[in-house]
Amino acid sequence: MPRIYIETYGCQMNVSDSELMLGVLGREGYVRTEDPAEADVLLVNTCAVRDHAEQRVLGRMGELKRYKQPGRVLGVVGCMAQRLGPKLLERVPQVDLVIGPDGYRGLPELIARARDGGERAAEVEFKEWEHYEDVPAVRDNAASGGGGAFVTVQRGCDYRCTFCIVPMTRGPERSRKLADVVGEVTRLAANGTTEVTLLGQTVNSYHDGEHDFADVLRAVGRGAVDGIRRLRFTSPYPTDFTERVLRAMAETPAVCEHVHLPVQSGSSRTLKRMLRRYDRARYLEVVAALRQAVPGIALSTDIIVGFPGETEADFQETLSLVEEVQFDDAFTFKYSVREGTPAVKISDHVDPEVQTERMGRLVALVRRVVRQRNIGLVGTTHEVLVERPARRGDLLQCRTRTNKIALAQGPAEWIGTYRQVRFTGTTGSTFTAWPLEQPAWA
């Protein structure tokens, strides 16, 4: 049987797409291997959001090309492949295939051509109809956690934020039919999945022509799909939290008390230059509405530092927003120039040294806020899903409904099950926990 090796970089959508590719190739008899030296086909599923991600992939391709032998195929897939297209074939001569997110259905044929006739190809055409409905994805429990699965409900994006490459790499927004989403979740639940994360570029703008995102939450999370205990979604757009969606969150028991709510900047002036569809005040209104609808909700965010034209006063507004909202986590990034995005044409780029200095201040503040919030949780009790063995010791990695990570001692048999634990300490970002139900060998 031919063997396939896949490396995945970037967001949860890429993880989901790697599972799709394994499903496409699995129907042709391919089996997965974790060792690139054993693989007949090597694929690198890429991210294009920041230049650093692309440079990392190019460096990795330089390492993987040593496995390139006659009859073996090396391919770059995903967002970086979509952005660069045939240019990537010229840039890295060892690469046989360059395939964008809508081209995975053609993998078997393109691989066969590359293996049999040495034909190199780039497939980067957008297909607005493509949702891979008939592809049985091969789930990666190590990526989504024991008992969990990612389900893509929406592909592409119609928003044109000036810093963002996603509309170029993922194409226009399109939503799957609600019945298809429910069908996939039902099949997952029948196979033991208890936690589902719904994926979309602006997932809460979902609309299939008849149903909106509120309908999705209710259809999946109110007992309609037997066995689904937890429901998450990412990434929403702040102003797409309609009253209907907020009510569905409040009234759907499976919906977890955590929302990743990207803000990008705390400055209304900067947000306008980014073409975000809200200002600071509107974002804070959304935060208040979420906290009213779902008491105890945890909020995380994305923040960009050093966007063109950002002044010290603008940056101070970002710092004050972090203080005001009291995020439970924040992913922080220095602005990265992306060829083809409108922000490239904006003058007054921020000096890299200034970006680095501001990033240092922001990270320090975020860590302080998160640590203070987490210290306040020590001693409290939580339901956790046991996901996998921890990276250190004989501990297990667990996750709360509010997306807090805790390490607890317990047997491997607990992976994929739910347990009650008490938080006993925190590093500032993660927790140590004590199981309230002790294993038989304790």
How distant, in Å, are the alpha carbons of 9, 34, 106, 176, 433 from that of 125? Answer: 21, 30, 11, 19, 49
Cα separation of 359 and 304, whole Å? 9
Helices and strands (DSSP H and E) totals, the chain: 14, 19
Q: 178 near 215, Cβ under 8 Å?
A: yes
CA 143 to chain centre: 11
Cis bond upstream, residue 235 (ω within 30): yes
Domains and CATH numbers, the chain: 3-123 (3.40.50.12160), 141-375 (3.80.30.20), 381-435 (2.40.50)
CB neighbours of residue 59 within 10 Å: 9
Pick from 106, 86, 100: which is nearest to 156 by CA?
Answer: 100
Strand partners, 3: 31
Closest CA to 283 of 266, 269, 270, 295: 266
Structure tokens at 302: 């994305």
Which backbone phi and psi does 337 adopt, to 5 degrees? -65, 125
CA separation, residue 152 to residues 168, 302, 305 (Å): 19, 21, 29
Q: What is the full per-residue pLDDT of the chain (442 aa) written as tens digits?
A: 899 999 999 899 999 999 999 999 999 999 999 999 999 999 999 998 888 888 888 889 889 989 988 889 999 999 999 999 999 999 888 999 999 999 999 999 999 999 887 899 999 999 888 888 888 778 765 555 667 999 999 999 999 999 999 998 999 999 999 999 999 999 999 999 999 999 999 999 999 999 999 999 999 987 667 899 999 999 999 999 999 999 999 999 999 999 999 999 999 999 999 999 999 999 999 999 999 999 999 999 999 999 999 999 999 999 999 999 999 999 999 999 888 899 988 888 999 999 999 999 999 999 999 999 999 999 999 999 999 999 877 899 999 999 999 999 999 999 999 999 999 999 999 999 999 986 654 4
